[in-house]
């Protein structure tokens, strides 16, 4: 087998020297503090079985591979599901994509045009950044959750179509921006607000609708990206917005046009999961109690200064240095807690961390035990 070019091998060696080489983990039976399955939907036999039953009852043929939705892949379940999603999220329209990554590539690669400007939070997810690289618009980052800095950039670019991009829950820090303040700035300058809600769906709102709807700001947001591989425990994503935005994406979003559409089973999984999100308030309440419990344990053990301030399901303890944070994560795993170390360059050097993801199915005893374990290791 021919080896990779030498300059690629050198890049791998640098990662090894920095103790930052990524490897695929082995799945183990540890207490889950790492997955994004916040409500446990991916493990639900009820949702799994009901999805199959829905397909049978409605005589929907299961296809392994179909085609682009513009050719042969637009099975009838898409219409039902997208209409349900738009109603649930109080949006005029919704368009399904194969993943949150594809949704961000499709949106940013097609909507902002040459001469437009994209202003994005400096901690925006890689999928947003990669999408921006596909755009012909200029792009500048603003300081994290700093809307004074954002407004300065807006004022330097008068008479420009401006897209402001942020996340409702940041994937590495778990914190939330002040969206009311952001909307005020955007409205004042007639900007288009785009919010990635990947880690808010299933976590915020009475029915897990997300952070934007919890605050009642949906009518002020140009586009929302809802990702289903987290709180809903299945595959896919949707972009929410106006009917004209949906029509535009169908015509110009390359990650939508030039790919095989989701199978009927995948789309049915989204529809059924939404149904349980709407009716299963117990899982959402359990998750919120666990978030409160985790924050209480921080205070009781004097660990609060270690953590990024967060009221979401993502809690991050900053432990600088790849070697140190990997060692502590390894000790936690040996004690039966699946906690992952996030290393540089995924996060900036000096901001390496332990990242805890909380779930409805974690017990208060497990939360207390892992926090006492961290306390003993530091």
Q: What is the pLDDT of residue 28?
A: 65
Q: DSSP states of 14-81 as a string? A: HHHHTT----PPPP--SEESS-S-TTSGGG-HHHHHHHHHHHHHTTPPP-S----TTTT---THHHHH
Q: Where does the pLDDT of residue 30 fall: very low under 50, low under 70, confident under 90, or very high at 90 and above?
A: confident
Q: Is the pLDDT of residue 249 over 90?
A: yes
- Average the pLDDT over each of 4-13, 95-104, 236-245 and give the range with the smallest value: 4-13
Q: Where does the pLDDT of residue 65 fall: very low under 50, low under 70, confident under 90, or very high at 90 and above?
A: low
Residue 342 dihedral angles phi and psi, to the nearest 5°:
-105, 120
Q: What is the pLDDT of residues 16-28, one digit of tens each?
A: 988 888 888 776 6
Q: What is the pLDDT of residues 165-212, one digit of tens each?
A: 999 999 999 999 999 999 999 999 999 999 999 999 999 999 999 999
Domain limits of the chain? 45-279, 281-377
Which architecture, in CATH terms, is 45-279? 3-Layer(aba) Sandwich (3.40)
Q: Is the pLDDT of residue 59 over 90?
A: no
Tokens 């004690």 sit on residue: 335
Q: CA 150 to CA 142: how far, in whole Å?
A: 5
Q: Is the pLDDT of residue 227 over 90?
A: yes
Assign 3-class secondary structure to 334-359: HCCEECEEECCCCCCCCCCEEEEECC
Q: CA 127 to CA 104: how far, in whole Å?
A: 6
Segment 299-304 shows an average pLDDT of 96
Q: Strand runs (DSSP E) across 90-248, as ranges?
A: 93-97, 117-121, 138-142, 162-167, 192-196, 223-227, 237-241
Assigned token pair, 231 = 């709180």
Q: What is the pLDDT of residues 89-114, one digit of tens each?
A: 999 999 999 999 999 999 999 999 99
Assigned token pair, 285 = 């309440």
Fold of 281-377: 3.90.1150
């Amino acid at each position: 087998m021919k080896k990779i070019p030498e300059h690629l091998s050198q890049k791998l060696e640098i990662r090894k020297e920095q103790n930052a080489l990524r490897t695929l983990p082995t799945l183990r039976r540890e207490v889950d503090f790492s997955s994004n399955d916040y409500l446990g939907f991916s493990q639900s036999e009820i949702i799994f079985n009901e999805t199959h039953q829905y397909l049978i009852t409605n005589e929907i043929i299961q296809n392994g591979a179909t085609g682009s939705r513009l050719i042969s892949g637009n099975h009838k379940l898409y219409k039902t599901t997208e209409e349900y999603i738009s109603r649930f999220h109080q949006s005029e329209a919704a368009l399904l994509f194969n993943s949150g990554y594809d949704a961000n590539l499709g949106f940013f690669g097609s909507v902002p045009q040459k001469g437009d400007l994209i202003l994005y939070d400096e901690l925006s997810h890689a999928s947003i950044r990669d999408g921006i690289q596909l755009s012909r618009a200029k792009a500048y980052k603003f300081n994290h959750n700093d809307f004074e800095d954002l407004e300065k950039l807006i004022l330097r670019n008068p008479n420009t179509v401006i897209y402001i991009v942020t996340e409702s829950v940041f994937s590495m820090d778990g914190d939330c921006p002040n969206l009311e303040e952001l909307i005020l700035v955007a409205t004042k300058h007639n900007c288009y607000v785009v919010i990635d809600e990947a880690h808010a769906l299933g976590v915020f709102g009475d029915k897990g609708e997300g952070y934007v709807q919890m605050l009642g700001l949906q009518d002020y947001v140009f586009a929302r990206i809802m990702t289903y591989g987290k709180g809903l425990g299945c595959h896919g994503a949707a972009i929410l917005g106006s009917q004209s935005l949906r029509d535009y994406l169908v015509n110009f979003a390359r990650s939508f046009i030039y790919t095989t559409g989701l199978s009927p089973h995948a789309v049915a999984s989204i529809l059924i999961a939404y149904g349980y999100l709407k009716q299963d308030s117990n899982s959402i309440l359990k998750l919120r109690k666990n978030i409160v419990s985790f924050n209480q344990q921080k205070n009781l053990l004097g660990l609060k200064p270690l953590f990024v301030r967060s009221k979401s399901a993502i809690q991050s303890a900053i432990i600088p240095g790849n070697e140190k944070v990997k060692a502590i994560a390894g000790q936690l795993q040996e004690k039966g807690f699946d906690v992952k170390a996030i290393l540089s360059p995924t996060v900036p050097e000096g901001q390496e961390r332990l990242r805890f993801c909380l779930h409805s199915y974690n017990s208060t005893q497990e939360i207390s035990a892992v926090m006492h374990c961290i306390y003993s290791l530091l």
